[in-house]
């Protein structure tokens, strides 16, 4: 069977092209070898289930690994401790169907027949089982998010925690499971909940025994390259693996499912165009398609007004702030990988694909009067099929001046958003754009536009005096140099009421670069 790039289910190395995550998985291996209880808490489609499968495939020679997944199919299944404990026994039996030692299944089938079960009896059954098992037992539980609002499940976790603490206290390695791994988006170890209904005033974490570890699950360009190497060995296309891996990383920041999705688009829908242009086409297809990931992200914004306002400020107002894990809004956004920390600890949108999806989301629901070009969109495309950026900027300036010349406060807050709203219908379906905030200067934002295989850089800046205008020219000139471009565009929003800074946009020369400058 030919392999394929997978974006839907848990990855299987026998059927799917996969990134070599051996080094990452060694972290989990070390924790299990040390008998730790821990969580694998990352955003959706980030490789959590695949990591649990790696543990099952690669550690079953040393441990009895029991893979379980708790999902309530009927409220009656977990009506009390007895029904929950029987459900747990059933899940263990199901998870161990392929285990060579059939005594495992026989034991839990027998446990399920106990006349009345509760957590205390279940705990004794776990101890009996772990003492009889020929290997140390590792329990993994996937999809824990679907059970975290259930009091019985939290009580079950509390029971496992208590057994772990007793094991450590008395030094009895076979008293309970050697290692327990919980996988889900929410980090159970940081939850503060009422463990039992009758404990009205006592709140605790059901999983505060979880070991801490530091592991970034995003793929770096080298790791992405390992998947492309496997693909190239099979198909012999002859593309530049290093270049394409870096290009994929540029748009995804290593978000696992987005990496695989780009590869899948190129392989199956873009005639195996393993070029930079092919990557960009794949990115545009992803942005233009509704997926579970994009729907989940925008749904979170709709359900959380504070989160929505925060993300909008980051994208549209060039808001710059240091990440604070104790801020609930930031922590929630990080948990779902909507944001990440940059090298200086500041908040930024996780990747360029998310950035574009979110910009389109805010534009589509814009309650303000959206600026539109007002003329045929092809007017802004020259005879070579390239963007006529001076015409775009001039038209935008004229419309803003006519419609919003008395609303300086509005323009300062929304000006850059309005420019993106104006630009989108012109390049829609053909071009791609993204912003690169300059975190050391919240007054400016670089907008990078790709259109017809050409790159345009527009710096959007707020006027704060002549010296800032000069520094803006210097900044964009330096930025153009880093991107090997000779021309750029500087759009400055000015709020001076009684002074005209610049009558009409014009080309200027600065530090060997041509800059088209407009003050609005």
Instruction: Give the helix/strand (H/E) hosting 24.
Output: helix 22-33
| Burial (CB count within 10 angstroms: exposed 0-12, middle 13-18, buried 19+), residue 105 | middle
DSSP string, 311-370: HHHHHHS----B--TT-HHHHHHHHTTSEEE-TTSBEEES-HHHHHHHHHHHHHT--S--
Average per-residue pLDDT in the chain?
87
pLDDT value of position 194: 46
Numbers of helices and strands, H then E, in the chain: 17, 12
Q: 377 pLDDT band (50/70/90 cuts)?
A: confident
Measured torsion, CA atoms of residues 451, 219, 332, 74, in degrees rounded to the nearest 10? 110
> What are 223's two structure tokens?
């790791």
Residue 195 has pLDDT above 50, yes or no: no
**Alpha-carbon distance 414 to 319, whole Å?**
12
> What are 341's two structure tokens?
């920390």
pLDDT digits (tens, 9 = 90+) for 91-117: 899 888 777 677 888 999 999 999 889
- Specify the CATH architecture of the domain 22-190: 3-Layer(aba) Sandwich (3.40)
Question: 449: which strand partners?
Answer: 433, 456
In order of 8, 174, 233, the CA distances from 137 in angstroms are: 30, 9, 38
CA angle at 180 for the pair 174 and 185, rounded to the nearest 5°: 175
pLDDT digits (tens, 9 = 90+) for 432-490: 988 875 545 555 668 899 999 899 999 988 776 666 667 778 889 998 998 899 999 99
Residue 372 has pLDDT above 80, yes or no: no
Cβ 331 vs Cβ 306: under 8 Å: no
pLDDT value of position 75: 55
pLDDT value of position 438: 56
pLDDT value of position 439: 46
Terminal C-alpha separation, the chain: 60
Span 224-243, average pLDDT: 97
Strand positions, DSSP E, 223-290: none
Higher pLDDT, 260 or 143: 260
Cβ neighbours for 519, distance < 8 A, ≥ 6 positions apart: 463, 492, 493, 494, 501, 502, 505
pLDDT digits (tens, 9 = 90+) for 128-168: 999 999 899 999 999 888 888 788 888 999 999 999 999 99
Span 29-56, average pLDDT: 95
SS3 content of the chain, % helix, strand, coil (to 5): 50, 15, 35
pLDDT digits (tens, 9 = 90+) for 314-368: 888 778 899 998 999 999 999 999 999 988 899 999 999 999 999 989 888 765 5
**Alpha-carbon distance 109 to 90, whole Å?**
7
**Alpha-carbon distance 176 to 160, whole Å?**
8
Show the 3-state SS of 454-518.
EEEEEEEEECCCHHHHHHHHHHHHHHHHHCCCCEEEEEEECCCCCCCCCCCCEEEEECCEEEEEE
Residue 20 has pLDDT above 80, yes or no: yes
Identify the three-state secondary structure at position 179: strand
């Amino acid at each position: 069977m030919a392999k394929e790039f997978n974006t839907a289910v848990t990855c299987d190395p026998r059927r799917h092209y996969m990134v070599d995550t051996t080094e990452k998985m060694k972290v989990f291996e070390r924790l299990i070898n040390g008998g730790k209880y821990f969580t694998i808490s990352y955003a959706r489609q980030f490789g959590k289930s695949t990591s649990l499968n790696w543990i099952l495939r690669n550690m079953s020679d040393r441990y009895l690994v029991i893979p379980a997944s708790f999902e309530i199919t009927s409220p009656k299944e977990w009506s009390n401790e007895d029904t929950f404990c029987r459900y747990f026994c059933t899940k263990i039996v199901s998870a161990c169907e392929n285990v060579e030692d059939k005594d495992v299944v026989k034991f839990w089938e027998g446990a399920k027949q106990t006349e009345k079960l509760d957590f205390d009896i279940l705990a004794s059954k776990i101890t009996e089982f772990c003492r009889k098992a020929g290997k140390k037992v590792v329990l993994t539980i996937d999809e824990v998010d679907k059970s975290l609002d259930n009091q019985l499940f939290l009580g079950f976790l509390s029971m496992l925690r208590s057994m772990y603490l007793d094991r450590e206290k008395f030094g009895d390695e076979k008293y309970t499971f050697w290692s327990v791994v919980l996988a889900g988006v929410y980090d159970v170890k940081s939850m503060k909940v009422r463990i039992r209904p009758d404990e009205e005033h006592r709140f605790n974490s059901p999983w505060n025994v979880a070991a801490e570890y530091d592991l970034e699950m995003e793929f770096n360009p080298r790791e992405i390259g390992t998947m492309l190497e496997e693909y190239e060995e099979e198909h012999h296309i002859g593309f530049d693996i290093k270049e394409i891996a870096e290009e994929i990383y540029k748009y995804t920041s290593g978000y696992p499912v987005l990496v695989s999705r780009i590869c899948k688009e190129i392989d199956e829908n873009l005639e195996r165009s393993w070029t930079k242009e092919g990557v960009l086409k794949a990115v545009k297809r992803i942005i233009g398609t509704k997926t579970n990931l994009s729907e989940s992200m925008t749904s979170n914004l709709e359900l959380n007004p504070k989160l929505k306002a925060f993300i909008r400020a980051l994208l549209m107002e060039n808001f710059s702030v240091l990440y604070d894990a104790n801020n609930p809004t930031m922590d929630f956004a990080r948990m779902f990988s909507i944001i990440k920390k940059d090298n200086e600890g500041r908040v930024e949108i996780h990747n360029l694909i998310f950035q574009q999806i979110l910009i389109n989301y805010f534009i589509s629901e814009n309650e303000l009067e959206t600026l539109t070009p007002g003329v045929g969109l092809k007017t802004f495309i020259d005879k070579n099929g390239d963007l006529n950026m001076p015409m775009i900027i001039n038209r935008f300036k004229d419309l803003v001046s006519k419609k919003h010349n008395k609303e300086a406060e509005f323009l300062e807050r929304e000006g850059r958003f309005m420019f993106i709203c104006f630009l989108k219908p012109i390049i829609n379906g053909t071009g791609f754009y993204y912003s690169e905030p300059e975190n050391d200067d919240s007054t400016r934002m670089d907008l990078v536009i790709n259109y017809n295989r050409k790159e345009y850089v527009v710096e959007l800046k707020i006027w704060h005096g002549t010296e800032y205008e000069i520094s803006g020219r210097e900044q964009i000139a330096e930025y153009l140099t880093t991107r090997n471009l000779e021309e750029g565009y500087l759009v400055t929003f000015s709020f001076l009421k009684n002074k005209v800074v610049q009558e009409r946009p014009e080309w200027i020369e600065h530090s060997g670069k041509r800059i088209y400058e407009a003050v609005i």
